[in-house]
Amino acid sequence: VRFNCRYQGLQLLSEPVLVEDIRFATINQYNQLPMSSKFSLDASRIEDNTIAFYEEFRRSRLGKGEAEKMAQRTGKSFTGVALWPRLILDADGNIDVNSRQYPSGKHKKSHWQTVLPIMNDVPI
């Protein structure tokens, strides 16, 4: 599923981690090395998610009680791993293009979408 990078219905449970590193300057020599990614749930992110979801549910005209219940459930639920591009355009890393805020992964205006491979039929 693809989401606009400003869509508030998609929140992060952990700090972003590098999943794949492709260097186009040496693409002919590209050899994907096995990478191990560890995602650690962050209590402050879960709390922030709950608040963001509550506000989103209220904007959708859900009553306060129902919005609070839904926000508590969705603020800590897991649907999939959010993926988005970050381009580094020079060898020194001084010129970059970020589709989400770097390094936090927070929402921002971008022409690139966040991709969310769904991991389960129902969020867990």
pLDDT band at residue 71 using 50, 70 and 90 as cut-offs? very high
Whether the pLDDT of residue 48 is over 90: the answer is: yes
Distances (CA, A) of 113 to 86, 95, 117: 11, 20, 13
pLDDT band at residue 26 using 50, 70 and 90 as cut-offs? confident
Whether the model pTM is above 0.75: yes
Residue 24 is classified by DSSP as G
Whether the pLDDT of residue 80 is over 80: the answer is: yes
- Average the pLDDT over 70-82 and give the result: 93
Contact in structure between 44 and 75 (CB atoms under 8 Å):
no
Select the more confidently predicted residue: 55 or 124: 55
